[in-house]
């Protein structure tokens, strides 16, 4: 299989949200197979899913940039939250006439995917969360630090400070993430989303939401990251759990062979 360079071929979908037009940038490979929609993490983009074009034969594939990330601008004067991203994702699915989709969400994209699957179960047949936010412990490295800095710094200064802290953290994978951070996210969007991530993670019973979903569910985490304390609760709730060896918070990058094998196994009903 030959991978496809999608960087020169983004599509645009004009959506209206809060009376504001959003030119959503997305990649798509419509087909006759089941639809898979990827929701990227904060500071990442739709391009994280580019390898899927080669790795997932027989599926219809979609990935878009949230407002303020990648090629989708952040609306002037807006202060968007996770709830807004759930609504925008729902509008994207509706505009593309997608139903019974498999949602794959990484990090804060996993939180968006979880809330959308709970709110619109008729649209989502399966959910794959790649270290998606479901507990307060999931906020420590980036979002909680950003919220603390935002009390005294401008949004641009917050991004630069978090970038430096990630470079100094010694955490596998975060150095590469830190290098690209200023290029992939609007500072205002970064701070606004971090505030909303922390609020949801600290105040909503997200693990309960996850285990009570009616859809087939898979939670993926990297072996090099601290083992989530809530994994026993997920497993008790019949959630499939997969550890990706030699991997960090970014298994799609750090161990793509094992990551895509796990994704294919779940999509094909083997996991």
The answer for residues whose C-beta is within 8 angstroms of residue 248's C-beta and 6 or more apart is 171, 172, 173, 174, 222, 224, 225, 254
Q: Which two tokens stand for residue 194?
A: 């971090």
> Tell me, what's the pLDDT at 140?
79
- Report the alpha-carbon distance of residue 130 to residue 31 in Å, rounded: 25
Cβ neighbours around 5 below 10 Å, total: 10
> Tell me, what's the pLDDT at 7?
43
Q: Which two tokens stand for residue 268?
A: 């094909």
Give the gyration radius of the chain's Cα atoms. 17
> Tell me, what's the pLDDT at 231?
97
- Report the alpha-carbon distance of residue 196 to residue 168 in Å, rounded: 25
pLDDT range class, residue 271, cuts 50, 70, 90: low
> Tell me, what's the pLDDT at 169?
76
Instruction: Average the pLDDT over 191-219 and give the result.
Output: 98
Instruction: Average the pLDDT over 39-46 and give the result.
Output: 96
């Amino acid at each position: 299989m030959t991978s496809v360079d999608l960087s020169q071929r983004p599509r645009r979908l004009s959506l209206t949200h809060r009376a504001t037009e959003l030119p959503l940038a997305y990649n798509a490979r419509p087909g006759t197979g089941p639809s898979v929609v990827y929701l990227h993490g904060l500071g990442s983009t739709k391009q994280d899913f580019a390898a899927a074009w080669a790795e997932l034969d027989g599926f219809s594939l979609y990935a878009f940039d949230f407002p303020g990330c990648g090629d989708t601008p952040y609306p002037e004067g807006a202060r968007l939250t996770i709830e807004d991203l759930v609504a925008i994702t729902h509008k994207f699915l509706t505009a593309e006439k997608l139903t019974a989709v498999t949602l794959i969400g990484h990090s804060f994209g996993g939180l968006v995917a979880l809330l959308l699957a709970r709110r619109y179960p008729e649209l989502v047949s399966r959910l794959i969360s790649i270290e998606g936010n479901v507990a307060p412990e999931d906020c420590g490295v980036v979002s909680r630090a950003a919220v603390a800095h935002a009390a005294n710094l401008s949004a641009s200064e917050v991004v630069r400070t978090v970038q430096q802290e990630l470079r100094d953290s010694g955490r596998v994978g975060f150095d590469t993430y830190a290098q690209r951070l200023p290029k992939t996210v609007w500072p205002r969007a970064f701070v606004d989303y971090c505030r909303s991530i922390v609020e949801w993670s600290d105040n909503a019973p997200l693990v309960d939401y996850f285990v009570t979903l009616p859809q087939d569910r898979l939670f993926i985490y990297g072996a090099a990251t601290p083992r989530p304390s809530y994994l026993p609760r997920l497993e008790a709730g019949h959630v499939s759990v997969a550890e990706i060896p030699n991997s960090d918070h970014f298994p799609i990058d750090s161990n793509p062979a094992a990551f895509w094998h796990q994704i294919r196994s779940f999509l094909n009903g083997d996991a």
